[in-house]
Amino acid sequence: MFLQFLFISSAVLTVSCALGVLMVKNIMHSCVFLLGSLMGIAGLYATLGADFVAITQIMVYVGGVVILMLFAVMLTGGNDFVSRAQNLLGLPASMGNKWTYAIGLLVGVVFLLTNIQLIRGLTKALPVKTITNEFPSTVTQIGHLLVKDHVLAFEMSSVLLLGALVGAAIIARPRKQN
């Protein structure tokens, strides 16, 4: 009962806010709708019992990505995009020509067929599985997996993040006056 309520409300929030991102003309409003959509996805994770992933979703996307997006939009002009509906060459903006429409249609059809293929197996009666778990919480489980099975990926991503950090420091460093 409660899980169904959580699932339906999260799903409605996710989809409606995702539509909002596309429909709204103002780019700041788009960012705020994106916030709602990402919160909805966190709710979907919570429905699945993945509490750690749900919180990480909020932490990373709401606390980090959306704020950085708002910053970027504000520093690069923000609301001016609404009134200036032109493309880069100064021509009136349009959705594309016949070739872009054809390619878009093709991609859409392929995507739809792939999704149908994926979903087809799931529409039959689902066996109810009770998940047996030897760990007391998902946090413990993720911790164990990260330092046992996936330790290489874990360490490599930490090296990648260190590289990004050093790169950002080098870019932001003031140039020497020669």
Partner 1 sequence: MNQTVVSYLSQYEFYDFLLALFRNNQGVLAFTLYLLLALIIVGMCATIGGLGTYAERKISADLQARIGPNRVGPYGLLQMLADGVKMMTKEDIMPFTADKKLFYLAPLLCLTGVFATLAVLPFSSGFIMADLNVGIFYLVAISSLVGLGVFLGGYASNSKWSMLGGMRGASQIISYEIPVTISILAIVLLAGGMGFGTIVGRQGGLPHEWFMFHNPFAFIAFFVYSVGALAETNRAPFDLPEAESELVSGYHTEYTGMRFGFFALAEYIEVFVVCGVAASLFLGGYNVPGIKLDILPMQAAQFVIFMTKTLVLYYVVIWIRWTLPRLRVDQLMSVCWKYLTPIAIFNLMGCAIWMVVFNGKSIAELVLGSH
| Ordered DSSP codes for 115-130 | HHHHHHTTSSPPPP-P
Report yes or no: 82 and 25 within 8 Å, Cβ to Cβ. Answer: yes
Of 15-23, 55-63, 108-116, 152-160: span binding partner 1 (CB under 8 A): 55-63
Among 9, 16, 25, 64, binds partner 1 (CB under 8 A): 64
List the Cα angle 65/69/146 in 5-degree steps: 15
CA dihedral 25→31→33→39, nearest 10 degrees, is: 170
Backbone torsions φ then ψ of 124, nearest 5 degrees: -70, 165
Distance CA 151, CA 57 (A): 22
Report yes or no: 23 and 36 within 8 Å, Cβ to Cβ. Answer: no
Q: How far is the CB of 102 from partner 1 (least distance, A)?
A: 38
Distance CA 97, CA 99 (A): 6
**Pick 23 or 107: Cβ nearer partner 1:** 23
Residues 11-50, mask of contacts with partner 1 (x by CB under 8 A): ---------------x-xx--x--x---------------
Among 67, 110, 116, 168, binds partner 1 (CB under 8 A): 67
* 71 counts as binding partner 1 under rule CB under 8 A: yes
* 55 counts as binding partner 1 under rule CB under 8 A: yes
Among 13, 34, 44, 66, binds partner 1 (CB under 8 A): 66
**Pick 14 or 46: Cβ nearer partner 1:** 46
* 6 counts as binding partner 1 under rule CB under 8 A: no
Among 1, 89, 95, 128, binds partner 1 (CB under 8 A): 1
